[in-house]
Structure 1
Amino acid sequence: MHIVDQMGRSLTFDHTPVRIVSLVPSQTELLVDLGLQSSLVGITKFCVHPVTLRNEVSVVGGTKQVHFDKIKALQPDIILCNKEENTEEMVRILQDIATVHLSDVKTLQDAHNLIIQYGTIFNVTQRATAITTRIKEAQERFRESITKPINTLKVGYFIWQEPLMVVGDDTFIHHLIEELGFVNAFKNKEGRYPTVTEENLKDLDYVFLSSEPFPFSEKHIEEFQKKTTAQVVLVDGEYFSWYGSRLIKAFPYFTSLSKRLKL
């Protein structure tokens, strides 16, 4: 079997991989939903869905730092990584242990392509197709739920507090914000996750405070609300940044969010 991953790297398999190390939380959840939980031999400490998984599968580290000796001892057939989540140095070292598949997901189409490619690699094409179909159906139901034109409403999506960091262009979160019908207020800022100042809060319609990677909470709403006339809202970062099967649940969440915003 010959595969070209999302970084254009050519991979060849002489059999279906049966021992999987996944170093990306959203991809780990996807593997479980593809029926591959029994094939998982290694995951990260951030692979929190399903909640019992870390008690059942070896934890090999985080997404930026891993125990290479522990991964090698697991004798994986394949190691699943992501361009943004994992470092280039990690990938270089991991390639000496097993075949490394690299994902690069910036759009919903990229997400669909990855799911289908996993279906091919792991011989679960029917389940992969079913997941992408459910995501597309959920997205369509969300579109039908929006009753007002919102494509002029400017959103600042905040991921860090000190310094203030937001989501810029060329990211999956940016793509989702605009797919939902909003305008990403900081898409023209330099960098994928630019730093902004309190002055930049003035012209926003909405401030989205993400639950990850910085754990914004209720107490931060009042702090931000003092600095802007925009509506400040806590949002679930997993639904905006996890690009696997979680998207099935993401669009109902976006429908609920739009109702909170009275759209």
Structure 2
Amino acid sequence: MLFIDSAGVAHAAVDPAHPPRIVCLVPSITELLCDLGLASWLVGRTGFCIHPAETVRTIAKVGGTKDVNTKKIRSLAPTHLIVNIDENEKPTVDALAQFIPHVVVTHPLAPVDNLALYRMLGGIFGCSERAEALCTQFEAAAAALGAGRPQRVLYCIWKDPWMTVSADTYIARMLARIDWVQVAVPGSVQRYPAFDWSDQLNDGIDLVLLSSEPYRFSEAHADSLERQIGKPVLLVDGEMLSWYGSRAIAGMRYLEQLRREA
């Protein structure tokens, strides 16, 4: 049986008699691989792959998600590379593909895409039972979500310049599960647009969300911005809202918490 990745490439299941050597350049998927029981096959990860902390501590770092150490990766002799369309740069992936036989491309765009992600990786790496267990957990957490009160939100990921997300992102589709609609930045078609605060933008917002990552927004930022724009501002856990993989199960539960608090 073959398993199709987000680039349309078919991958065969690995032969357990010849254990794969995996380098993962996607933090949330490094965590997923560990939760699938594949930590012993992971030989390389980024410095942002921080979960589960005790497990990844012994796995070699190979740089960031965009600035990898190609020489170090080559020295690890990986058989499989796992990347993501949003998080990793194509020229880097193309260069690594010159000496890594199997490049698995991921691109979840909505929470439900986690089910296919679990099953694809479970199929390739021979842990389909664990993958199905995660599917069951995810579906139960998603089904437990209550109906939210509709809110027009602006989810901020960066400051200086201010940046947000478009509706065509995993984050926006997570928020939509509780009827929080990500507003569009006037005049922008970017998936992660920069913006300036303006009366026009403010008038279309009910709630501003400041993410804890990639920019480390704090309660002080939230308090200052709330005074500046006169709208409610909430600090939110960026990992829970932007990390797909196994963390999305906890992310569903976090959404329910946000829905209740709001």
> Is TM more than 0.5 here?
yes
Runs ≥4 in structure 1, deviation > 6 angstroms?
Answer: none
**1:13, CA displacement in angstroms?**
5.8
Cα separation, 2, equivalents of 1:230 and 1:7: 41
Cα separation, 1, equivalents of 2:208 and 2:135: 30
Cα separation, 1, equivalents of 2:84 and 2:125: 18
> Does structure 1 conserve the Cα–Cα contact (< 8 Å) formed by 2:24 and 2:82?
yes
> Does structure 2 conserve the Cα–Cα contact (< 8 Å) formed by 1:201 and 1:227?
no
The one-letter code sitting in structure 2 at the alignment partner of 1:184 is: Q
Cα separation, 2, equivalents of 1:258 and 1:246: 18
Partner of 1:142: 145
The one-letter code sitting in structure 2 at the alignment partner of 1:252 is: R
CA separation of 1:197 and 1:223: change in aligned 2, threshold 3 A: same
| 1:88-167 mapped onto 2 (5 Å cutoff) | 88-98=90-100, 99-143=102-146, 146=147, 150-151=149-150, 153-167=151-165
CA separation of 1:219 and 1:230: change in aligned 2, threshold 3 A: same
Q: How many residues are treated as equivalent by the alignment?
A: 256
| 1:139-218 mapped onto 2 (5 Å cutoff) | 139-143=142-146, 146=147, 150-151=149-150, 153-186=151-184, 189-199=188-198, 200-218=201-219
The one-letter code sitting in structure 2 at the alignment partner of 1:101 is: V
1:250 aligned counterpart, secondary structure: helix
Cα separation, 2, equivalents of 1:95 and 1:182: 39
The C-alpha deviation readout for 1:109-147, integer Å capped at 9, x for no partner, is: 32211111001000100110110110110111122xx4x
The one-letter code sitting in structure 2 at the alignment partner of 1:174 is: A
CA separation of 1:104 and 1:187: change in aligned 2, threshold 3 A: farther
Cα separation, 2, equivalents of 1:219 and 1:115: 38
Identity of aligned residues (%): 37
1:108 aligned counterpart, secondary structure: coil
Please state if 1:63 is matched with 2:51. no
CA separation of 1:171 and 1:120: change in aligned 2, threshold 3 A: same
**1:83, CA displacement in angstroms?**
0.5
**Structure 2, unaligned runs of 5 or more:** none
1:93 aligned counterpart, secondary structure: helix
Cα separation, 1, equivalents of 2:88 and 2:14: 26
**Structure 1, unaligned runs of 5 or more:** none
Question: Structure 1 stretch 59-68 or stretch 195-204: which is displaced more?
Answer: 195-204
The one-letter code sitting in structure 1 at the alignment partner of 2:184 is: F
Question: Structure 1 stretch 193-202 or stretch 132-141: which is displaced more?
Answer: 193-202
TM-score scaled by length of structure 2: 0.92
Cα separation, 1, equivalents of 2:28 and 2:185: 24
Cα separation, 2, equivalents of 1:187 and 1:196: 7
Question: Structure 1 stretch 17-26 or stretch 183-192: which is displaced more?
Answer: 183-192
Partner of 1:44: 46
2:77 aligned counterpart, secondary structure: coil
